[in-house]
A and B are shown apart, each in its own frame.
Chain A
Amino acid sequence: MDPAVHDRGGWPIDAPIDRSEHELADWELLADALVGALLRRRLMNVDELRRGIESMPPEDYEHASYYERWLHSMETILTEKGVLEPGEVDRRLAT
């Protein structure tokens, strides 16, 4: 069985490691902090965060940046739990 997309240990890849440093952008800090605030209110836990990341379609996972994965996970888990209605973030963005 092939490992799931997130299970990267030992994957055949010879790409060099991009060692450039990058300070977290405001929105990345905010994404991290939103997870922190959700953890504090027990609306989500770390295992759910991971499940939400790991359930991304493999191609989206491959191309998403780190905090894009966190964002996807928050939306997935919170929609599952009924905290968000389906499509609610999209509707907010459209206004």
Chain B
Amino acid sequence: MKFITIAGPPSCGKTAVLIHTIKRLLEDDTKVAVGKIDCLETDDGERYKDLGIPVIVGLSGDLCPDHYYVSNLEEILTWAKKNQAEMTILETAGLCHRCAPAIVGCLSVVVIDNLSGIDTPRKIGPVLTTADVVVITKGDIVSQAEREVFRQKIRLVNPEAEILEFNGLTGKGSVRLRKILLESPEVHTLVDETLRSSMPACICSYCTGETRIGNSYQLGNVLKIVS
């Protein structure tokens, strides 16, 4: 079984990239299963189901979607095995990126778009810096020069990753991404594997449902902007 994680900011084109690439994988009869993690609501599951593949959707509700994601990795792998998948692709919620739970030994793909701003590669942290493959979308609507600068900024924070330009409308780039996914490592279990970066501590009263503002309501791991 190949287990691949795909992350990236909201609206960067993760789902479009995946749908085009899965269509390519299905041409070769690769058995693909998709997991989608989100917080409150997602329609992406339906879009994957339209491809006729097994889909599992997890909504984290009140929990951090990335922590929920890590807590369910083994369950998702077991589910995919039951569905005779040869490749499991797990898409993150794409919210804060601070956690970006990429797994050692599993291919990690990040999608980032040319419109997201020139400083984005420097700002988004481990989701980009620990990725094996960086897929850049929306290159068709920005200038050649901006594409080159954006690519260079990505190189600066992640010198090793394979960088791939992808057009989410036409699917241009999907053949290359299929090849990369097919060459990714095999895993049998995720138990005892580790995350590529630690997830930040986030244990304060607001994590447990507090809504009131003010020092007296803030318990646990609290950091102040001015000390």
Tell me if chain B binds chain A: no
**Residues of B that sit less than 8 Å from A by CB:** none
**Residues of A that sit less than 8 Å from B by CB:** none
